Amino acid sequence: LAKTTQPISMDSYEGQEVNITCSHNNIATNDYITWYQQFPSQGPRFIIQGYKTKVTNEVASLFIPADRKSSTLSLPRVSLSDTAVYYCLVGDRTTGANNLFFGTGTRLTVIP
Amino acid sequence: NAGVTQTPKFQVLKTGQSMTLQCAQDMNHNSMYWYRQDPGMGLRLIYYSASEGTTDKGEVPNGYNVSRLNKREFSLRLESAAPSQTSVYFCASRLLGVGQPQHFGDGTRLSIL
């Protein structure tokens, strides 16, 4: 079961770009990297997923180096509403088992 | 579109009581999951059901049982509740296939006295 390591917390001012890095040294060949966002009193919400190189969608970018032992979630121009906990997960997408380890996540606080 | 619906949203139990947490999804997803989240912690997988008719243990299955009633519903049962099971319980579902994320409900907050 591939586990992940993230910073416990980060602070950022509104309008800045935020980069959250996740370490996953034991990532397996079939594992994908997925990031979720969680607000208080809500379930996690999917942000972005990737296997290698760079993935971008309307809310974030995900950078994955060639060795895949880490990944970086990039949030452009954060706002107060981006204050949340962000989880990096590594799991096997090729089987139904889909074992995922959430870890403690990174608590991002956006400051006005 | 309701997505993943969990009932109840809140519950208080006494030690030794039993309880079933209900989860239903209307997205025609194959796989369903139960997690618990303790204060300040990440989610830990209790049980999952890769497809209708199958269930498997996750990281912390002791003290729980599950039933995949049909494709839509996946219930979690505490046979004899203990204070250590006080937590927020999340249900999730997912469509099988590469790149398919999990979709979560908003949780059941369970306190055991």
Say if residue A94's pLDDT is above 70: no
The reported pLDDT for the residue numbered A88 is 92
Mean pLDDT of B42-54: 89
Residue among A73, A33, A75, A36 at smallest CA distance from A52: A33
Of A19 and A31, which is predicted with more confidence? Answer: A19
Which residues in chain A are contacts of B21 at CB distance < 8 A? none
Burial (CB < 10 A; 0-12, 13-18, 19+), residue A104, is: middle
Q: Name the residue with higher pLDDT: B1 or A12.
A: A12
Would you state the pLDDT for residue B50? 87
For chains A and B, CB pairs below 8 A equal 63
Q: B99 and A103 in contact by Cβ < 8 A?
A: no
Record: contact B106-A42, CB cut-off 8 A: yes
Spatial contact of B20 and B6, defined as CB atoms under 8 Å apart: no
| pLDDT band, residue B47 (cuts 50/70/90) | very high
Q: Do B107 and A43 touch (CB under 8 A)?
A: yes
- Residue A90 pLDDT: 86
- Who's near A43: CB < 8 A, 6+ residues apart? B4, B90, B92, B104, B105, B106, B107
pLDDT digit string, tens, across residues B87-103: 999 999 998 877 788 89
* Nearest residue in chain A measured CA to CA from B96: A96
**DSSP per-residue letters across A69-85:** SEEEEEESS--GGG-EE
Cα B72 to chain centroid distance, Å, stands at 13
